[in-house]
Amino acid sequence: MTQGTASPEVLRRSHHLSTFAHQGAVYLYHDLYGYLLQMSPDLLAFLDQFESPQKASEVCTRYADAFDGQAPQQFVDIFYQHACLMEPDDDELAGIWPMIAFKGRWNVWRRHGDRVTIWTAWGDRPVKTIELDAAETKMWDAFDGENRLNELRAKHDAKKLSALVQRLAHSDVQAIKLSAFPQSMYAKRPAMAPRYLTSTMPYRAWKPGDPLETPTTDVGTEDYYKDVADADAQFDHQETTLSHLFREPHPALGGKTYGAALVDALATQGRLPAQRVRVLEIGAGLGYVARAVCEALQARGLEVSYTIQEIAPALAAAQRTRTAGLPVEVREGDALAAELPSDAFDLIIANEMVGDLPAEQHSRTDVGMEVDGSGEVDEAKLAALGRAGELVKDLGIPLFDAPEPFYLMTGALELVVRIARWLAPDGTAVVTEFGERSTWPKLSTHLDHPELSTHFGHLLQAATAKGLTGSIEFVMDVLEMDRTLEGLATTRSHFRALRAMCADAGVDLPKLGYTRELLAARLGDKLAMDQIGELRWDKIEDRLMGLVPHEFKALLVRKPGGN
Ligand SMILES: C[S@@+](CC[C@H](N)C(=O)[O-])C[C@H]1O[C@@H](n2cnc3c(N)ncnc32)[C@H](O)[C@@H]1O
């Protein structure tokens, strides 16, 4: 924020604003400073009134009743503080000089000699490169979050510096942000650092008048998966699973793959039969887990028959290719409608797929409870919910602590009921997903389709109601993962840009859970790690690529009744 709060009488809109939208939310990005403001379409329409200089008081009078009783003047002040509104004769570009340039988060760059090239790939926007010449590279190196542009102007060509700031701060690039205060001030007070300094804008450009997507609350992606066209792109760009990051032997798993580590864990826990093992995998993605599990079971001398139940034809095809030569049968169709024999599988795996199953959103009042958290479920109202109500009743799912509104994972509960039927006596099922033991499902909308976190307590309750015994574990613990190793942290946009940069140097960079050693091995002699950036390393348990591994849990259940 650059200016005081009392805004002048006549104002005009900045010429450096871009607007974006995602899932019904609208954002304003200041292309000179990097300010990022969440908006609503009516606020943007209000701001657009200042396209040419206007008396703020007159615009405010016209909009007096537009904002649910909020005074329009307060929005004028906020826009003024963020340099979105200014006095008509203000030289906008001059406003940058008292500011300090911070390097943005999730930049991708490569240094070659005295030059730097920056790669960007925000959201679905095309990959773009920004070549800095030697003088601009010196300026880039001077953007240290401490020196004001005024000071840098004394050492560098002012016109060139101004042009570079404009190029790099723009929402197309987002390589720098401008701040009124130095980084050192925030070092000890990180909570005081304004959010825009570390935020990025990966969403689609949108302008007032364009149609606005309505936020999705409807979860259940049968159609989404049926429509998956490019199987590999699905996992490499759209959506990554933990198992996908560990599909190759990994140091954090003692040199094993995810599938092999899972088999070792099941063996250690005495969950594998002695001679013959019948496996069912539900929703098998690209088939890496299937291949690794099948091979690891065979390596233990077991006779394996492996069935996959898969809804997406493109993924089923990938699974067949990946498991060619192994005793794997891929059945196509919805697991929630599949006819599979009862008591027929010694091991059932549903890895990171229950979050994709249908869920229903309800209000506490739908079932007779008070919104404020009190009251009891009204049986008649519960019954009126149909199948969802039946599942709650039959499985004994407690609703008293449901938030308002709440998601009921009907698909996942339905699947657990089916798993209980399909398991052979003494058989084990492993259901993994991101979620918590007792936190109600939360919707995440950062993917291109909405996904819910899983309430594992509900899954365990369903399993127990159907006669299984079991527990909820951290996936990392089940696999005996070395949580403390450091891995590469990325976002979707950052990894896309990094991958483009690597491709430019002749390096193929598949999406894997990179440690420093794994990445160095990939880069070989084509790219030196210290010449590329930004590479952020985090403890694997906290972040690996775009995932937070400690969020992944496993429901491990067994059907009693074996000998
Ligand atoms: C997020 S992916 C996980 C894939 C794989 N298990 C892994 O660990 O990478 C979800 C998988 O479940 C499949 N799937 C989603 N809904 C399904 C359903 N109702 N029946 C069968 N498969 C389904 C998807 O097509 C996809 O293969």
Closest protein CA for atom 7 of ligand 1: 285
Asked if residue 494 and residue 421 are part of one domain, the reply reads no
In a domain, 281, yes or no: yes
> Which atom of ligand 1 lies at the shortest distance from residue 312's CA?
25
Residue 185, token pair as written in the block: 């001030």
The rounded distance, in Å, linking the Cα atoms of 289 and 353 is 13
> Are 493 and 473 within one domain?
no
Which atom of ligand 1 is closest in space to residue 281's alpha carbon?
6
Q: What does the pLDDT read at residue 360?
A: 95
288, 311, 511: which to mutate for ligand 1, most atoms within 8 A of CB?
311
Query: What is the whole-number distance in angstroms between the Cα of residue 105 and the centre of ligand 1?
Result: 32
Same domain, 469 and 426: yes
Residue 231 Cα to ligand 1 middle (Å):
12
- Using DSSP bridges, classify how beta strands 469-474 and 552-558 pair: parallel, antiparallel or unpaired: antiparallel
Report the atom number in ligand 1 closest to the C-alpha of 309.
21
Give φ, ψ of 447 to 5 degrees.
-80, 175
How confident is the model over 5-24, as a mean pLDDT? Answer: 90
Is residue 388 in some structural domain? no
Cut 0.85: pTM above it: yes
Closest approach atom of ligand 1 to CA 338? 20
pLDDT at residue number 69 = 87
Res 16 pLDDT > 70: yes
Average pLDDT over residues 512-541: 96
Cβ(356) – ligand 1 distance below 6 Å: yes
Output the pLDDT for position 23. 84
CB of 285 closer than 6 angstroms to any ligand 1 atom: yes
Higher per-residue confidence, 489 vs 210:
489
Cβ–ligand 1 contact at 352 (below 6 Å): yes
pLDDT at res. 416: 98
Domain carrying residue 502:
486-539
> Do 271 and 347 reside in the same domain of the chain?
yes
Taking CA 446 as the corner, what is the angle to CA 36 and CA 450, rounded to the nearest 5 degrees? Answer: 140
Supply 537's token pair.
Answer: 């390393």
Residue nearest to atom 17 of ligand 1 (CA): 311
- 2, pLDDT greater than 60: no
Atom in ligand 1 nearest the alpha carbon of residue 353: 10
- Is the Cβ atom of 139 under 6 angstroms away from ligand 1? no
Ligand 1 center from residue 283 Cα (angstroms): 3
- Over residues 441-453, mean pLDDT: 77
pLDDT of residue 84: 97
3-state secondary structure 254-278: CCECHHHHHHHHHHHCCCCCCCEEE
Q: Are residues 525 and 473 in the same domain?
A: no
Burial class (CB in 10 A: 0-12, 13-18, 19+), 263: buried
| Radius of gyration, alpha carbons of the chain | 27
Report if residue 497 sits inside a domain. Answer: yes
Instruction: Please state the atom number of ligand 1 nearest to the C-alpha of residue 349.
Output: 6
Residues 305 and 322 in one domain: yes
Distance, CA of 337 to CA of 314 (rounded, Å): 19
Q: 523 falls in which pLDDT band (50, 70, 90)?
A: very high
Is 416 in the same domain as 534? no
CA of 285 to the centre of ligand 1 (A): 6
222 CA → ligand 1 middle, Å: 9
Asked whether residue 268 falls in the same domain as residue 336, the answer is yes
- Confirm or reject: Cβ of 136 under 6 Å from ligand 1: no
Span 338-366, pLDDT tens digits = 999 999 999 999 999 999 999 999 999 99
Pairing of strands 128-132, 328-332: unpaired
Q: Give the pLDDT confidence score for residue 200 in this predicted structure.
A: 95
Residues 346 and 279 in one domain: yes
Q: Give the pLDDT confidence of 91-145 residue by residue, as tens digits.
A: 999 999 999 999 999 999 999 999 999 999 999 999 999 999 999 999 999 999 9
Predicted local distance difference test score (pLDDT) of residue 1: 44
Among 353, 409, 413, 449, name the best residue to mutate to test ligand 1's pocket (greatest count of ligand atoms within 8 A of Cβ). 353
pLDDT tier at 372, thresholds 50, 70, 90: confident
> Among 487, 511, 497, 534, which residue's Cα sits nearest to residue 238?
511
Please give the angle made by the CA atoms of 308, 311 and 312, to the nearest 5 degrees: 105
- Better-scored residue on pLDDT, 259 or 211: 259
Q: Looking at the 3D structure of the chain, how many domains does it have?
A: 2
Q: What average pLDDT score do residues 215-239 get?
A: 64
Is the domain of 261 the same as that of 332? yes
Identify the CA nearest to 20 among candidates 30, 11, 33, 10.
30
Q: For residue 215, give the DSSP letter.
A: P
Cβ 353 under 6 angstroms from ligand 1 = yes
CB 115 within 8 A of CB 105: no
The CA distance from 143 to 179, in Å, is 11
470 is a domain residue: yes
In a domain, 280, yes or no: yes
Task: Kindly report the protein residue whose alpha carbon is nearest to atom 27 of ligand 1.
Answer: 285
Q: Based on the fold, state whether residues 279 and 344 are members of the same structural domain.
A: yes
The end-to-end CA distance of the chain, in Å, is: 71
The answer to the question of residue 477 being in a domain is yes
User: Has residue 451 been placed in a domain?
Assistant: yes
Provide the CATH number for the domain around residue 475: 3.40.50.150
User: Mind listing the pLDDT tens digit for each residue in 230-281?
Assistant: 777 767 666 689 999 999 999 999 999 999 999 999 999 999 999 999 999 9
Task: Based on the fold, state whether residues 418 and 311 are members of the same structural domain.
Answer: yes
Distance CA 260, CA 294 (A): 9
Query: Of 488, 465, 490, which Cα lies nearest the Cα of 546?
Result: 490
Residues near 32 by beta carbon (within 8 Å), at least 6 away in sequence: 14, 16, 83, 92, 93, 95, 96, 165, 166, 169, 178
